[in-house]
């Protein structure tokens, strides 16, 4: 791990190295780190990094990983009811991809000195968050399409710049995640198009889903720039490349013509092209709802977390068995291939 | 009723394709129910992988004899030809693994034989047997871990093996149109079970390998009660929008 950490810097260690010497060493490491970030070089797990940078990355990557696994729930809700075998196969593959994304992201977080178990524990105890979007329910089949088109579309807008994140393992995980998310977004669009062009009832189902998912999708970019506590530092470290409002605008500009192509309307009377800005203007977001859902009062917060905890508790005996079996056979090599 | 050799041949082929296709369709559905509830993230990926392989097999098989969606969504319970083992509820993870062990070992033996023959399913079986080899390995590894893991996992796995044993006789009832030696396959399957359950420190169940009904009931459209609820859920949306495309 690191040669010097913020915890040890500034104290006189057992070796008798003076505070001044430690501080000088720390400053030298920081200079190297800052220069690497400025030069667009990747920071790798064995490189020295400021503790605050490490903590910020763990928080963000963990939240991202948690969002992937909690995000399986609203879509898995429709696997057993998918209306055609083709749609069922696509949906199962999509939910499986999300589990896979969770795996890469927990692995990326582990390179920072934490563990999946520790992070899951923080998720289950409410000490770490996941994206609030998943606290909304999937009420009809069209919600699966709307999630693909809008929620995955917003996620891609957020995540493509992270492919250039200063931290190597996160950036690399994100390249793979974005490729798959791009497929998810297209299948969502295509599923909604089929509904929009289908029967009257199917069209109405699609419109209803878009009406419900549009505003929460805009909230996915986080609070407005002047209220975002993490943005400035994350941008200085090149973990983040654009502000919340910039990304939100980019998403709106992409989504409006897509909605037109779908033959569906977006539920915002103030949505119109602004020639002068070269962007779409859009109406005011209900930030009260955003903060309310974030604090735990969304339609499905309790349900999502309870289900996650239940799955974890129900699986405890399985994980214990796998560990016990591995321990029994670690010396003999017998059944050694039996890894989860 | 009399039928020309051609129509008899068609009916035989249809029956065999539905038997294989429904096994894959129904087991895939049950595995899909695990999404979001697996004991560990790696198993979310693995169970979905197996479910997707089976769904892919089902789609090819059903499409050989009709419209895949009409067959999956518009048949009544009594028209499904899957073995009862495939429809058994997931239960705990041990039940799912025992079901996988019994079924994938059977399916691997069957597809291996079909692949080496010259029947109409040889091509499909040659591809599927590779997928099913992974399904079998997955089930065997978990049988070892659970059987020879903790006291609790051992007990759960033994209970699961015992509970599902009665559905295994049906796997080896001859299916017209599948030109394989079912008796030889059954011997190989039993030998495999004796081997793997032994390695897992589990006891080969001693109970009967049929339910109160004769083995082969599922192939005749006689299913267990949970199956009706399962397909009610599966078919509800499709049936609610007659003629719609998705």
Which comes out higher in pLDDT, residue A136 or A7? A136
Mean pLDDT of chain A: 92
Mean pLDDT of chain B: 95
**Dihedral, A224, A230, A231, A237 alpha carbons, nearest 10:** -170
- A273: three-class secondary structure by DSSP: strand
Q: From residue B118, how far is each of B124, B130, B179, B180 by CA, in Å?
A: 11, 18, 9, 11
Please compute the mean of the pLDDT values over residues B60-70 and round it to a whole number: 98
Please report residues of B whose CB lies closer than 8 A to that of A92: 32, 35, 48, 51-52, 55
Please compute the mean of the pLDDT values over residues A162-190 and round it to a whole number: 94
pLDDT higher than 60, residue B1 = no
Residue A10: pLDDT band with limits 50, 70, 90? very low
Phi and psi at A281, nearest 5°, equal -85, 145
pLDDT higher than 70, residue B65 = yes
What does the pLDDT read at residue A231? 86
Q: Running DSSP on this structure, what letter comes out for residue B214? A: P
The span from the CA of A145 to the CA of A136, in Å, is: 14
Q: What percent of chain A has pLDDT over 70?
A: 93
What does the pLDDT read at residue A2? 39
Please report residues of B whose CB lies closer than 8 A to that of A201: 241, 244
The span from the CA of A141 to the CA of A196, in Å, is: 13
Check CB contact of B155 with chain A, cutoff 8 Å: no
Q: Which of residues 120-159 of A touch B (CB under 8 A)?
A: 141
Contact A191 B246 (CB under 8 A): yes
Q: From residue A255, how far is each of A224, A279, B88, B172 by CA, in Å?
A: 19, 12, 44, 55
Model pLDDT for residues B87-115, shown as the tens digit of each residue: 999 999 999 999 999 999 999 999 999 99
Query: Taking CA atoms, what residue in B is nearest to A69?
Result: B36
Sign, CA torsion B236/B241/B245/B246: negative
Please compute the mean of the pLDDT values over residues A121-133 and round it to a whole number: 96
Query: Taking CA atoms, what residue in A is nearest to B234?
Result: A81
Residue A16: pLDDT band with limits 50, 70, 90? low
Residue A181, both tokens: 């998310």
Sign, CA torsion A279/A282/A284/A289: negative
Q: What percent of chain A has pLDDT over 90?
A: 85
Which comes out higher in pLDDT, residue B211 or B225? B225
Please compute the mean of the pLDDT values over residues A312-329 and round it to a whole number: 97
Contact B68 A320 (CB under 8 A): no
Check CB contact of A319 with chain B, cutoff 8 Å: yes
Contact B72 A73 (CB under 8 A): no
- C-beta of residue A189 within 8 angstroms of C-beta of residue A206: no
DSSP bridge partners of A273: A280
Please report residues of A whose CB lies closer than 8 A to that of B73: 83-84
Q: How far is A305 from chain B (nearest CA, A)?
A: 12
What does the pLDDT read at residue A5? 44
Which comes out higher in pLDDT, residue B189 or B8? B189
Contact B36 A95 (CB under 8 A): yes
Cβ atoms < 10 Å from Cβ of A204: 14
Contact B48 A92 (CB under 8 A): yes
pLDDT higher than 60, residue A7 = no
Query: Taking CA atoms, what residue in B is nearest to A188?
Result: B246
What does the pLDDT read at residue A3? 41
What does the pLDDT read at residue A338? 44
Residue A37, both tokens: 């970030």
Task: Number of A to B CB contacts under 8 A, please give it.
Answer: 155
Q: First-to-last CA distance in chain B?
A: 40
The span from the CA of A316 to the CA of A314, in Å, is: 6
Number of H helices, E strands in chain A: 14, 2
Please compute the mean of the pLDDT values over residues A187-215 and round it to a whole number: 98
Contact B144 A338 (CB under 8 A): yes
Which comes out higher in pLDDT, residue B164 or A335? B164
pLDDT higher than 80, residue A4 = no
The span from the CA of A75 to the CA of A291, in Å, is: 24
**Dihedral, A27, A30, A34, A36 alpha carbons, nearest 10:** 120
3-state DSSP percent of chain A in helix, strand and coil, to 5: 65, 0, 30
Residue A19: pLDDT band with limits 50, 70, 90? confident
Q: Which of residues 186-245 of B touch A (CB under 8 A)?
A: 199, 233-234, 236-238, 241, 243-245
Residue to mutate among A119, A138, A322, A326, with most B CBs inside 10 A, is A322
Contact B241 A72 (CB under 8 A): no
pLDDT higher than 80, residue B215 = no
Check CB contact of A103 with chain B, cutoff 8 Å: yes
Please compute the mean of the pLDDT values over residues B152-171 and round it to a whole number: 96
Q: Which of residues 243-262 of A touch B (CB under 8 A)?
A: none
Model pLDDT for residues B48-63, shown as the tens digit of each residue: 999 999 999 999 999 9
Please report residues of B whose CB lies closer than 8 A to that of A89: 52, 55-56, 59
What does the pLDDT read at residue A331? 73
Please report residues of B whose CB lies closer than 8 A to that of A333: none
Sign, CA torsion A143/A146/A152/A155: negative
Phi and psi at A43, nearest 5°, equal -85, 130
Please compute the mean of the pLDDT values over residues B116-139 and round it to a whole number: 96
């Amino acid at each position: 791990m690191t040669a010097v950490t913020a915890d040890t810097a500034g104290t006189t260690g057992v070796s008798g190295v003076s505070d001044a010497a430690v501080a000088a060493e720390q400053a030298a490491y920081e200079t190297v780190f800052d220069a690497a970030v400025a030069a667009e070089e990747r920071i790798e797990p064995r490189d020295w990094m400021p503790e605050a940078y490490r903590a910020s990355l763990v928080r963000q990557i963990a939240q991202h990983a948690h969002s992937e696994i909690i995000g399986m729930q609203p879509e898995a809700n429709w696997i057993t009811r998918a209306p055609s075998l083709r749609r069922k196969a696509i949906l199962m593959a999509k939910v499986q991809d999300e589990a896979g994304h969770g795996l890469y992201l927990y692995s990326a977080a582990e390179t920072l000195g934490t563990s999946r178990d520790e992070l899951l524990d923080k998720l289950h105890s409410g000490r770490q968050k996941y994206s609030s979007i998943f606290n909304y329910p999937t009420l009809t089949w069209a919600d699966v399409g709307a999630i693909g088109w809008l929620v995955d579309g917003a996620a891609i807008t957020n995540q493509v710049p992270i492919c250039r994140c200063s931290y190597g393992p996160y950036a690399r995980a994100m390249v793979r995640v974005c490729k798959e998310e791009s497929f998810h977004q297209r299948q969502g669009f295509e599923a909604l198009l089929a509904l929009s062009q289908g029967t009257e009832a199917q069209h109405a189902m699609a419109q209803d889903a878009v009406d419900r998912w549009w505003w929460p999708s805009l909230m996915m970019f986080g609070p407005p720039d002047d209220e975002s506590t993490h943005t400035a530092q994350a941008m200085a470290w090149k973990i983040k490349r654009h502000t919340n409002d910039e990304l939100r605008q980019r998403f709106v500009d992409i989504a409006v013509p897509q909605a037109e192509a779908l033959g569906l309307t977006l539920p915002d009377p103030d949505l119109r092209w602004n020639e002068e800005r070269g962007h779409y203007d859009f109406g005011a977001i209900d930030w009260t709802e955003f903060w309310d859902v974030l604090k735990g009062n969304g339609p499905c917060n309790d349900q999502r977390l309870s289900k996650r905890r239940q799955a974890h508790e129900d699986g405890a005996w399985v994980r214990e068995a796998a560990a016990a079996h591995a321990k029994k056979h670690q010396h003999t090599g017998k059944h050694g291939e039996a890894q989860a | 009723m009399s039928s020309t050799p051609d129509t008899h041949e068609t009916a035989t082929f249809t029956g065999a394709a539905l038997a294989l296709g429904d096994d894959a369709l129904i087991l895939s559905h049950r595995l899909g129910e695990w999404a979001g509830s697996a004991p560990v993230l790696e198993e979310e990926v693995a169970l979905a992988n197996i479910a997707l392989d089976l769904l892919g097999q089902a789609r090819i098989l059903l499409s050989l004899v009709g419209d895949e969606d009409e067959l999956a969504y518009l048949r009544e319970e009594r028209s499904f030809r899957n073995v009862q083992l495939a429809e058994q509820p997931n239960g705990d993870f041990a039940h799912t693994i025992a079901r996988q062990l019994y079924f994938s070992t059977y399916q691997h033996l069957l597809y291996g034989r079909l692949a080496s023959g010259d029947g109409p399913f040889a091509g499909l079986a040659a591809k599927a047997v590779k997928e099913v080899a992974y399904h079998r390995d997955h089930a065997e590894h978990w049988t070892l871990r659970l059987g020879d893991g903790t006291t609790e996992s051992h007990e759960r796995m033994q209970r699961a093996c015992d509970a599902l044993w009665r559905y295994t006789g049906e796997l080896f009832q001859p299916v017209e149109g599948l030109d394989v030696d079912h008796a030889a396959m059954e011997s190989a399957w039993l030998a495999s079970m004796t081997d793997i359950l032994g390695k897992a420190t589990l006891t080969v169940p001693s109970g009967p390998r049929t339910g109160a009904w004769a083995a082969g009931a599922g192939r005749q459209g006689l299913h267990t009660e949970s199956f009706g609820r399962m397909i009610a859920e599966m078919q509800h949306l499709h049936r609610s929008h007659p003629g719609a495309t998705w």
